[in-house]
Structure 1
């Protein structure tokens, strides 16, 4: 009998908890493999994300073949996982990827909390001027990309979970959603 893994996509803003939740969920579910979007080099991806968003954010401009190839390899591997978890920002918005996703979760973290987490994560040893430059860039340009996710990715997900909840609670809610959907 052929096993077909269930593919669960976890989306959130940068600093919204995608990676933390994916790692915790990976440790809680049995027979699970996690793939992380940031681990991939996408040769055909927009060079300037802000310009990409300002030009309409066409998610199909992203050639996601490397991650899709890894999903396909896992489906036919010697030990096929029950679940493939994707730390992946686009939910169902990329036409080639959407056919692979069985459940899309959006971790809805308020923008100020996501920014705070990102600064704490990315600037542990930075000078205050680097933090200042990052915040200035966010206010002038980067917020546009965050709002793109708010307006397109969040409503496109199957389930939205409050990103201010403790990590363990978020994972519990995702596992309940998986069970409730018979995945």
Structure 2
């Protein structure tokens, strides 16, 4: 008997936008689900400097996503698997050609940039000297903000569903579950 392929959904947002939190909660909520996290992979032959990559046109296909794609394909096409959902913490929605062919649904968490920046500072700089935080904020203002704005103009409109990143996580989960089970 041929099993139905898992439903693959990708969650995108700017850094600090809530991707990882949402993916973890969705994985805990949806039965027979498996989560994969973009940041857990090393992508050789991919852009090293995100700001430089954005400044040169932000071609998402420049990313060599082979390790993530291979893991995703093994989950999708494994006849012994029992996953109903595969949830990706993945920043590009349908912008990467090879990956887009494996996705069923993409979600963009629309979190205001100031909130995302504050969350990132809280997350990444708990016990850090002020100078390091100031350097990061200077880098954000000088170059990094353009990468965030690029994501808002390319990935957000390329997503199937946009959710307000200021909503409580429980509400976001409810909205997404309603959307994917219609």
TM-score scaled by length of structure 2: 0.97
RMSD: 0.8
Q: What secondary structure, in the 3-state scheme, does the structure 1 residue paired with 2:88 have?
A: strand
Q: What secondary structure, in the 3-state scheme, does the structure 1 residue paired with 2:176 have?
A: helix
Check if 1:55 corresponds to 2:56: yes
Distance in 1 of aligned mates of 2:111 and 2:164: 6
Give 1:79 deviation, angstroms. 2.5
Distance in 1 of aligned mates of 2:5 and 2:81: 11
Task: State the Cα deviation string for residues 4-38 of structure 1 (Å, max 9, x = none).
Answer: 00000000000000000000000000000000000
Distance in 1 of aligned mates of 2:136 and 2:82: 42
Check if 1:43 corresponds to 2:18: no
Give 1:130 deviation, angstroms. 1.1
Task: Map 1:28-177; keep pairs closer than 5 Å.
Answer: 28-75=29-76, 76=78, 78-177=80-179
Give 1:48 deviation, angstroms. 1.3
Q: 5+ unaligned residues in a row in structure 1: which ranges?
A: none
Q: What secondary structure, in the 3-state scheme, does the structure 2 residue paired with 1:30 have?
A: coil
Distance in 2 of aligned mates of 1:83 and 1:169: 20
Q: What secondary structure, in the 3-state scheme, does the structure 2 residue paired with 1:8 have?
A: strand
Asked if the contact 1:16–1:163 (Cα under 8 Å) also holds between the matched residues in 2, the reply is yes
Q: What secondary structure, in the 3-state scheme, does the structure 1 residue paired with 2:139 have?
A: helix
Deviates more, 1:157-166 or 1:76-85: 76-85
Asked if the contact 1:93–1:153 (Cα under 8 Å) also holds between the matched residues in 2, the reply is yes
Q: What secondary structure, in the 3-state scheme, does the structure 2 residue paired with 1:125 have?
A: coil
Count of matched residue pairs: 180
Q: What secondary structure, in the 3-state scheme, does the structure 2 residue paired with 1:3 have?
A: coil
Asked if the contact 1:74–1:80 (Cα under 8 Å) also holds between the matched residues in 2, the reply is no
Q: 5+ unaligned residues in a row in structure 2: which ranges?
A: none
Distance in 2 of aligned mates of 1:96 and 1:79: 22
Distance in 1 of aligned mates of 2:14 and 2:150: 10
Task: State the Cα deviation string for residues 105-155 of structure 1 (Å, max 9, x = none).
Answer: 000000000000000000000011111111111000100100010100000
